[in-house]
A and B are shown apart, each in its own frame.
Chain A
Amino acid sequence: QQQVKQSPQSLIVQKGGISIINCAYENTAFDYFPWYQQFPGKGPALLIAIRPDVSEKKEGRFTISFNKSAKQFSLHIMDSQPGDSATYFCAARNNAGNMLTFGGGTRLMVKP
């Protein structure tokens, strides 16, 4: 019930393309869905987050799409840049606390 499944494990995108990473969850008690970006040798940094009362949130080139009925959410990176190359983790937090359940991560490489 606490699992968050993330796909793909790795992704290669050309510069200027759209990167799409998907996550699915089972626990309907999850009420907060952040995405973290992690560069090699660094800690994860919050990129963007969404709550289930909205279906989409956009911040610059980054957009989260949320489908509550399907229990799925995705990260879209528009106009992907080589500097976006990093590992991306989706996560979910239930309404009983602040323990994050992480997805398995997606290693994104944006080719120049």
Chain B
Amino acid sequence: DAMVIQNPRYQVTQFGKPVTLSCSQTLNHNVMYWYQQKSSQAPKLLFHYYDKDFNNEADTPDNFQSRRPNTSFCFLDIRSPGLGDAAMYLCATSVGFTDTQYFGPGTRLTVL
């Protein structure tokens, strides 16, 4: 089945230790998104790629970076995680800007 896959599902890191979350998709969608979702809150868009074009939301901290080496993969890098970065990180994809967004299962990040 075509899908959005996120690895790992659970990630524990130490305060200030860089961490990378990965997302892959078999849908061949050209747009990929990263969201942060804290407990009992709505998903908050961090950035998205339209093909290779990177678009950062204005209020996304510089601590968060992303890479998209090819159509299928997208990475979220957190350079120096703080306690406030503990959250569920969701990857989503869509066909251009006219289609539904399809979400992956998320990666739960814990910062110790």
Contact = CB atoms under 8 A, between A and B. Distances in A.
Does B associate with A?
yes
Interface of A: 34, 36, 41-46, 49, 89, 97-100, 102-105, 107
Contacts of B45: 99-100
B70 interface: no
B42 interface: yes
Interface stretch (B11-19, B61-69, B76-84, B94-102): B94-102
Contacts of A41: 105-106, 108
Given A41-B105, A104-B42, 15 more contacts: A34-B100, A41-B106, A42-B105, A43-B4, A43-B92, A43-B103, A43-B104, A49-B100, A97-B97, A98-B97, A98-B98, A98-B99, A99-B48, A100-B101, A102-B43
- Interface of B (DSSP majority class): loop
Contacts, number: 46
Interface of B: 4, 6, 31, 40-43, 45, 48, 90, 92, 94, 96-106, 108
